[in-house]
Amino acid sequence: MIGSTRLERRIRRDFPEPGAAPEVLRILDAFPDAVGYDTRQLRSERIRAAIIVLAEGDIDKFRQAIELAKMDWRDVLVAAGLADADWLIRLDAELGPDDPGS
């Protein structure tokens, strides 16, 4: 589904309410096809993580981040602090180290 167990763990941690994490995962999974442009980029862990970072565990903020990404995914990266050259370090700080075997 999401392609990253560390991102899925973060989603389940940030959205603990019953049914919230599965709904966030479903929306993130459908998001690239719904937008209809740059689907490969929109499926990346980096952009999906940026959306989750911006959401701060709030479903309304999550939906706002999705809307921002629909307009221009680069704005989501900037807003989440994942646009600069150190984005890999920041991503690891947000999600933990890469999953073994991924």
Query: Whole-model pTM?
Result: 0.89
Break the chain into its structural domains and give their ranges.
Answer: 5-95
Give how far the C-alpha of residue 8 lies from the chain's centroid of Cα atoms, to the nearest Å. 9
- Sequence-distant (6+) residues with CB within 8 A of 50 are 65, 69, 76, 77, 79, 80, 82
Distance CA(36)–CA(22), nearest Å, equals: 22
CA 50 to chain centre: 5
Structure tokens at 50: 């940026």
- The string of pLDDT tens digits covering residues 26-81 is 999 998 888 877 788 888 999 999 999 999 999 999 999 999 999 999 999 999 99
